[in-house]
Amino acid sequence: MAINSVKGTHDIIGKEAMGYQYIENVFKAVCELYGYRPLVTPILEHTEVFTRATGEASDVVRKEMYTFLDKGGRSLTLRPEGTAGAIRCLVEHKLAATNDLPLKYYYFGPVFRYERPQLGRYRQFIQAGIEAVGEDSPYLDAEAIVIAMRTLDFLGFQNLKVKVNSLGDQASRDAYRNALRDYFRPHLDSMCADCQERFKLNPLRMLDCKVPSDIELGKNAPNISDYLSDEAEKRFYKTLSLLNALGVEYEVDPGLVRGLDYYGQVVFEVHATSSSGADYGALLGGGHYDGMLSDFGGDKSIDHGVGFAMGVERLYSILQEDGKLEGVDPGLDIYLMPLGEDVLPDCFELAEQIRGLGYTVSLPYEKLKMGAMFKRAERANAKFAIIVGSDEIAMGEVQLKNLATKEQISAKIETLQETLDSLFGETEEGHHHE
Ligand code: HAM
């Protein structure tokens, strides 16, 4: 019987793999522009990392984690998001003691959630995220949004909708939770079992309920904006004014509370639909958080962070549908064509020499007909063919054919570097190996 991939997971192959890699490269380049550095933490963490930091009341932690006992009887979890593990790592290695603050890191890798698979929703998916940790500043909050927008802009997204809101400080949220409990209490009996649980754990989570009648009820619930302390409100306006100064367009969405428990102050999401109208859900979500470092025994005086994570599958799907990934296949510089069995060893060596010059080369490993080799060169998206016959090899020469213009010249192997450099210098994109 055939064995297929696990439900909700997917293989990334061929052009798709190049598209994903392109997105990763753009994301990394943008993060580096802002002085962020790469961080690679384990996919596997102690379950407590997420129950403590990501939040007991969130659906992600309550229902969606891949948690199991390992052979030593420890409860381990495949990370359902990147933030908690990143903070665990920064605290464990005391990075705040030996580095300037804020610590600024980015990451790119798989995360796991046991959700119902549907458009834009997987059980294993890739998140590209950043965290700026150790300093409490609206500048950093605004910068996180700006980094996300610059990444999306570089990737070619248009018509983005940026939603921002403030969840305020602890006092604001305490007051708001009380108001939510007062609002929902008379309806509690008619609400879903999850909401009855959320009522106790964190009534904010009642606002992300997916049950239609509960959504309806949530529409008239009080807004956090009416419960912000003066200070939280001032801070929110400061963040918005920084966005205004940089020309980032956004809308304030008082209903945006995000699905994870750790947020305070500014939270944000970016939404987009493809040109065909397909809605893959939020492209990214993030926000500010206080108190997570001390969850892991870190320093209370620097207990702040802000970050976001993008769903890379969602980015890919929209870019692909909108034809924005057409140019990501770098193709091949040279397809080497041995004319006959006896020049195969020479070609094998020549290919190595040319790769040493920085050009990408493929070749067949057995004798093929000319027509078959030209087909392969075309499928590999090759720019040039180098045709190698035994007589020419004896004279130290090869035939060099531009596969676009069909122009063909003979070239001395001895001076191949100069010839290739000038030929590739002439092609439209120029030589991309510099
Ligand atoms: P999140 O909103 O839970 O935030 O996830 C971030 C993004 O991951 C979403 O906006 C979406 O694009 C993508 N995503 C979520 N679930 C799925 C799924 N099942 N399939 C495909 N894509 C999905 C976080 O995870 C926070 N750690 C972000 C953050 C970083 N906040 C502060 N720092």
Polymer length of the chain:
434
- Separation of alpha carbons 266 and 289, rounded Å: 9
Select from 27, 308, 316 the residue to mutate for testing ligand 1; criterion: most ligand atoms less than 8 Å from CB. 308
| Ligand 1 closest atom vs CA 258 | 2
Same domain, 291 and 382: no
**Centre of ligand 1 from the C-alpha of residue 126, in Å:** 9
Q: Hey, whose CA ends up nearest to atom 15 of ligand 1?
A: 311
Same domain as 307, residue 273: yes
Confidence band for 427, pLDDT divided at 50, 70 and 90: low
- For the chain, what is the mean pLDDT? 95
pLDDT above 90 for 40: yes
For residues 173 and 252, give the distance between their C-alpha atoms in angstroms, rounded to a whole number. Answer: 18
For residue 385, list its beta bridge partners. Answer: 335, 401
CA distance 407 to 249: 51
CATH number, domain at 281? 3.30.930.10
What tokens were used for 313?
């599958």
Residue 31 within any structural domain of the chain: yes
Q: In what order do the strands lie in the sheet with 304-311?
A: 37-38, 103-112, 124-133, 304-311, 279-290, 263-273, 161-166, 251-252
Which pLDDT belongs to residue 109? 98
Asked if 310 and 348 sit in the same domain, the reply is: no
* β-strand partners of 68: 76
Ligand 1 pocket check: which of 10, 260, 310 to mutate, most ligand atoms within 8 Å of Cβ?
260
Closest residue by CA, ligand 1 atom 25:
81
Residue 72 lies in a domain: yes
The one-letter amino acid at 372:
A
* Ligand 1 atom index nearest CA of 83: 27
Q: Which residue has the tokens 């000319």?
A: 370
Distance, C-alpha 83 to centroid of its chain = 13
What pTM, to 2 d.p., does this model score?
0.94
Name the band, by pLDDT with cuts 50, 70 and 90, for residue 223: very high
Q: What was the pLDDT predicted at 55?
A: 83
Q: Which domain holds residue 142?
A: 14-169+229-321
Last residue of a domain, one of 289, 321, 353: 321
Query: Tokens representing 298?
Result: 């870190």
pLDDT score at 426? 79
Pocket test for ligand 1, best of 9, 41, 66, 125 (most atoms within 8 A of CB): 125
**Structural domain ending residue among the three candidates 294, 321, 348:** 321
Q: In this structure, are 29 and 95 located in the same domain?
A: yes
Query: What would the pLDDT profile of 337-370 be if each residue is shown by its tens digit?
Result: 999 999 999 999 999 999 999 999 999 999 999 9
Phi-psi domain of 292 (left: phi exceeds 0; alpha: psi -120 through 50; beta: other): alpha
Tell me, yes or no, whether 328 lies in a domain: no
CA distance readout (Å), 299 to 14, 52, 101, 296, 304: 46, 16, 13, 9, 10
Decide: 154 and 328 in contact? Cβ < 8 Å: no
CA of 364 to the centre of ligand 1 (A): 44
Read off the pLDDT of each residue in 294-299 and give the average, rounded to a whole number. Answer: 95
Q: Judge if 373 and 264 occupy the same domain.
A: no
| Residue bearing the CA closest to ligand 1, atom 21 | 121
Q: 321, 352, 375 — which closes off a domain?
A: 321
- Looking at the chain, the whole-number percentage of residues with pLDDT higher than 70 is 98
Position 285 pLDDT exceeds 90: yes
The DSSP result for 59-128, as a single string, is HHHHH--EEEE-TTS-EEEE-SSSHHHHHHHHHHTTHHHHSPSSEEEEEEEEEE-----BTTB-SEEEEE
**Structurally, how many domains does the chain consist of?**
2
The whole-angstrom separation of Cα 383 and Cα 402 is: 6
Q: Taking a C-beta distance cutoff of 8 angstroms, is the pair 202, 208 a contact? A: no
Q: How far is the CA of 127 from the centre of ligand 1 (A)?
A: 7
Q: How far is the CA of 123 from the centre of ligand 1 (A)?
A: 12
DSSP 345-375: HHHHHHHHHHHHTT--EE--SS---HHHHHH
Q: Whose CA is nearest to atom 13 of ligand 1?
A: 311
* 6 assigned to some structural domain: no
Which carries the bigger pLDDT value, residue 342 or residue 280? 342
Same domain, 400 and 285: no
The CATH number that applies at residue 354 is 3.40.50.800
Q: What is the mean pLDDT of residues 209-221?
A: 93
Angle at 236 between CA 233 and CA 241, to 5 degrees: 125
**57-71, pLDDT tens digit by residue?**
888 998 999 999 999
Taking alpha carbons only, the member of 95, 86, 107, 88 closest to residue 36 is: 107
- Considering the domain architecture, whether residues 371 and 297 belong to the same structural domain is answered as no
Q: Evaluate whether residue 201 is within a structural domain.
A: no
Side chain identity at 268, as an amino acid letter? F
Based on the fold, state whether residues 234 and 339 are members of the same structural domain.
no
Share of the chain above pLDDT 90, in %: 91
Asked if the structure places residue 153 within a domain, the reply is yes
**Mean pLDDT across 419-430:** 80
Q: Tell me: do 18 and 54 sit in the same domain.
A: yes
263-273/161-166 β-pairing: antiparallel
Per-residue pLDDT, 155: 97
The residues lining ligand 1, judged by C-beta closer than 6 Å to any ligand atom, are 81-83, 113, 115, 120-122, 125, 127, 129, 131, 259-260, 282-287, 307-311, 313-314
Asked if the model's pLDDT at residue 431 lies above 70, the reply is: no
Q: Which atom of ligand 1 is nearest to the CA of 315?
A: 12
**What does the pLDDT look like over 365-418, one tens digit per residue?**
999 999 999 999 999 999 999 999 999 999 999 999 999 999 999 999 999 999
- Measured from the Cα of 121, ligand 1's closest atom is 20
Residues 36 and 149 in one domain: yes
